[in-house]
Amino acid sequence: MDKEKHRAIKEEIVAIGRELLAKGLVSGTWGNVSARIEGSDDVAITPSGRDYRRLTADDVVVVDALGQVVAGGLPSSEMLLHLAIYAKRRDILAVVHTHSVFASAFAVARRSIPPISEDQVQLIGGAVDVAEYALCGTAELAENAVQALADKQAVLLANHGMVGCGQTLAEAMLACELAEKSAQICIAANQLGGATVLQDEDVAVMRRFYLEKYRQRQGGTKE
């Protein structure tokens, strides 16, 4: 176990948790944050039911790929969701789960956030689709989320919230922010007569540009 790597990622998780509260993407103790620990299959994840304002690096839990606790106490109740994403997508190194208002409105309506803004489609990869409903914390929810996520970087959880993913915690956080912004824009645009959806070919071009060039400029990759 590399204690320095564990400590650094735990401190970053704490910082992201506080940022979630500050930006109104979660309320109370809801939502959760995790990241792979470089050089291992271990995952650092926020503990269950802890106030982000009082959270410290020592409170962050480390689990292995099977969910066995390596260090710390009780991991988030959504641990299975995080681990399922990591198991399916080796390119994803960080996961942030939010309950933001506008994205959650789409999740409750069980409607995808359409690909309407350029920053959304560049980072997320297109529409933010809705995973079929399952009770929180279950293996069924985890599987449904992985299926709906596919090769993108954000997914809605029906009647629940959303998940953003990235190669860094900052990128996963940004995915959540962009999905929330697009949800808000879509609702406002529909009140003005209707949101115009970007064409598939344009989405593909912008996504490729992000993956091949812009991500590196933003520092959104470990490469």
Dihedrals φ, ψ of 50, to 5°? -105, 140
Pick the catalytic residue from 78, 171, 177, 180: 78
Check if 118 is active-site: no
With a CB cutoff of 8 Å and minimum separation 6, the contacts of 124 are 152, 153, 154, 175, 178, 179
Full-model pTM = 0.94
Average pLDDT of the segment spanning 75-104:
97
In tens, the pLDDT along 129-142 reads 999 999 999 999 99
Average pLDDT of the segment spanning 44-73:
94
The type of residue at 18 is R
Query: What structural domains and CATH numbers belong to the chain?
Result: 3-218 (3.40.225.10)
Tokens describing residue 109: 């309506």
Average pLDDT of the segment spanning 83-106:
97
- Reduce the DSSP state of residue 184 to 3 states and report it: helix
